[in-house]
Amino acid sequence: MRRRILVSTLFVVAVTALVLGGPLAFTTWRLVDDFTRAELIQRLEQIDDRLDDKPPGAPIDSAAIALAVPSGGELVVDVPGTPVQRVGALESPDILSESLPFGQGGTITLSEPISVMRTQQLQVTVIVILLVVLSVGTGAVVATVTARRLAGPLLDVADRAARLGAGDFRRAPHRHGIPELDRVSDVLDTSAGALADLVQRERALVGDVSHQLRSRITALTLRLDELSTHPDPSARREALAALEQTEKLSEVLDELLEAARAARAAGAEPMDLRSGLTEVADEWRPALEAAGRRLKLRVPEGLLARVTPARIREAVGALVDNALRHGGGTVTISAREGANALVVEVSDTGSGIPEELVPHVFDRGVSVQSSTGLGLALARALVEADGGRLELSRARPPTFTIFLPAARADDVVGPPRRAGSPR
């Protein structure tokens, strides 16, 4: 994109310089010719004024008119009936001459070497060419700066849209100073907030519906179990048939929930936790340092989780953001291999979470103080969307623990990639 903008701008500058520079050079060349001839005619008029004061046939006072003759030039006075008189001598066969009528049918002719005019023409033409080159160079600099200023924000907005489509709903507070692109960024931030709320509501709705259906199915199963022991054979048969249908309904519910989880985790792939969490740490470290705090990263190599990279980065970023806003001291991101999952912990050394908020820390709208962002509820929804689990494992000092599914052997092609190695 940057190259296309640069090439297009340079093409326009080059065409403009060619269209204007060529005629300008030609016009300048002609103007020097006209000015030189006009100067010769002006000198002739001055000489003519002096010669008019002389009686006819009188010799020319060379000293009086020598100053009007150009250096290396020659003045020829040709009057009928008198000898031709000359002042000066030409040193070149290539001359530029102008004549004026003089006396009764006579003429005076002033000549100079044409090389003088050609030298002036070349000098002026070179100046014009230098100005054209300077304009092209200035255009190239402006094109480069403009291409960089436009391409960078456009690529940033495109990357922001791609991350949004991948499930990264973080807002981007940075703006580029270009009203149109800033408007697009505002719309993307609004869409990110709307999608985050949608994901949150969808997750809560699925969880609520699943819980309610399971509770009702369990209650119905218990009642049918009681009916299956009824002394009436026909009642027992109907109860057993209904119990069988209830079990099938429970299986269908499990399949639907599993299909929904699989659809949400469609972008899951093997991810090197060291590499992914390093990106999160690099992103949040400047904000913590600006607040006078530190961030530590303790992630061993070789931990491969099957997750959606954008989601796990967003979830861990939300936890670090929560520690930045509501915690204190050093923030630590660590990872290790657990019994049945990979464990990622985000903790700080602050005062911790108030006791009354511990049971509701993941509820929507719950916060110690007014804040912006996605919140812990969305972080949990994103982790659970990939089949993981997010819990508050300790309130003081606060420690949030993420349990992630490990990548299976058939998910990994070739040896595990070390963090920082080329892809």
Q: Of 7, 20, 28, which Cα lies nearest the Cα of 139?
A: 7
How do beta strands 331-337 and 295-298 pair?
parallel
Question: Quick one: pLDDT at residue 226?
Answer: 81
CB 25 within 8 A of CB 125: yes
Question: Quick one: pLDDT at residue 65?
Answer: 72
Angular region, 353: left φ>0, alpha ψ -120 to 50, beta rest: beta
CA-angle at 233, arms to 228 and 237, nearest 5°? 55
pLDDT digits (tens, 9 = 90+) for 358-390: 887 887 665 555 444 457 877 887 888 778 889
pLDDT digits (tens, 9 = 90+) for 242-263: 888 888 888 887 777 776 666 5
Token readout for 327 is: 């915690």
Per the listing, tokens 């990357």 go with 159
Residue 312 CA to residue 305 CA, distance in Å, equals: 10
Question: Quick one: pLDDT at residue 289?
Answer: 92
Question: Quick one: pLDDT at residue 378?
Answer: 77
Q: Please, what's the b/e burial string for 245-266 (b: 16 or more CB within 10 A of its CB; e: otherwise)?
A: ebeeebeeeeeebeeeeeebbe
Q: Which residues of the chain have pLDDT under 50?
A: 370-373, 413-423
Question: Quick one: pLDDT at residue 371?
Answer: 47
Peptide bond into 83 cis (omega under 30): no
Q: Of 172, 156, 165, which Cα lies nearest the Cα of 199?
A: 165
Question: Quick one: pLDDT at residue 422?
Answer: 39
DSSP 8-state class, residue 168:
-
Q: Of 376, 264, 269, which Cα lies nearest the Cα of 317?
A: 376
Question: Quick one: pLDDT at residue 282?
Answer: 92
Burial label for 379, CB within 10 Å (0-12, 13-18, 19+), is buried
Contacts for 5 with CB less than 8 Å, ≥ 6 apart: 143, 146, 147, 150, 151
Token readout for 411 is: 């998910």
Contacts for 79 with CB less than 8 Å, ≥ 6 apart: 56, 57, 102, 103, 104, 105, 106
pTM (predicted TM-score): 0.49
Question: Quick one: pLDDT at residue 348?
Answer: 93
Helix (H) or strand (E) holding 403: strand 399-404
Q: What does the chain come to in residues?
A: 423
Which residues partner with 108 through β-bridges?
Answer: 77, 100
Question: Quick one: pLDDT at residue 404?
Answer: 92
Residue 39 CA to residue 97 CA, distance in Å, equals: 11
